[in-house]
């Protein structure tokens, strides 16, 4: 999604109304309960919350020009990798084997066998259509943010095809956009 993303694809940046700001804040808190204690630091009530509307129904949530979350249409908010790296435990984790790393980092979606092989690992609790952190065999930090196409149980049982959509990965356009002026 962010393979060729750049500031040029941002069509409008707007400070959202207080009511919208509360709504965004609430849905982030619901999706990531682990973030609640730091939510006041991340999204200070007094700082304006900016939503940048981009192509393909993508929205970026920015505070002080820093992209923190994104979503598509009214879908769930997902943290940027830079934010996830700071709070790695806010998302459920799926792990790909080492062989899958280079594919994930070129933007490919995550295939089931990369998660079920000995180098991979699955949190059985993960359901379908859930934002997840994509970890990698032998690595400490997440390399991508994914959105599951099937539940972890199905990934294991079906074990072929795309298990998780690759939403955002290291070195894609959003990664490179540390700030949006």
Instruction: Tell me: does residue 86 bind another protein (CB under 8 A).
Output: yes
Residue 88 interacting with another protein (CB under 8 A): yes
Q: CB of residue 41 vs another protein: minimum separation in angstroms?
A: 8
51 binds another protein (CB under 8 A): no
Residue 176 interacting with another protein (CB under 8 A) = yes
DSSP per residue, 32-64 = -GGGHHHHHHHS-TTSPPEEEEETTTEEEEEET
Candidate list 66, 87, 93, 113; residue touching another protein; CB under 8 A: 87
| Cβ atoms < 10 Å from Cβ of 129 | 12
Strands 131-136 and 92-96: parallel
Decide: is 127 part of the binding site for another protein (CB under 8 A): no
Instruction: Find the angle CA(178)-CA(175)-CA(53) to the nearest 5 degrees.
Output: 75
CB of 121 to another protein, least distance (A): 17
Rounded CA-CA distance 36/180 in Å is: 25
Please give the residue ranges that form the binding site for another protein (CB under 8 A): 34, 36-38, 85-89, 101-102, 105, 139-141, 143, 170-171, 175-176
């Amino acid at each position: 999604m962010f393979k060729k993303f750049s500031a040029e694809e941002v069509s409008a940046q707007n400070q959202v109304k207080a009511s919208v700001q509360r709504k965004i804040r609430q849905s982030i808190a619901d999706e990531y309960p682990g973030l609640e204690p730091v939510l006041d630091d991340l999204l200070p009530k007094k700082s304006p919350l900016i939503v940048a509307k981009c192509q393909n129904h993508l929205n970026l949530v920015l505070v002080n020009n820093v992209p923190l979350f994104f979503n598509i249409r009214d879908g769930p908010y997902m943290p940027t990798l830079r934010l996830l790296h700071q709070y790695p435990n806010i998302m459920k984790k799926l792990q790909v084997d080492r062989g899958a790393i280079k594919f994930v980092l070129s933007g490919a979606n995550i295939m089931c066998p990369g998660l079920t092989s000995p180098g991979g690992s699955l949190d059985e609790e993960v359901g379908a259509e859930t934002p997840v952190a994509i970890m990698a065999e032998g690595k400490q930090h997440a390399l991508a943010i994914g959105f599951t196409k099937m539940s972890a149980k199905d990934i294991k049982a079906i074990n072929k095809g795309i298990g998780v959509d690759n939403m955002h990965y290291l070195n894609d356009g959003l990664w490179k956009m540390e700030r949006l002026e």
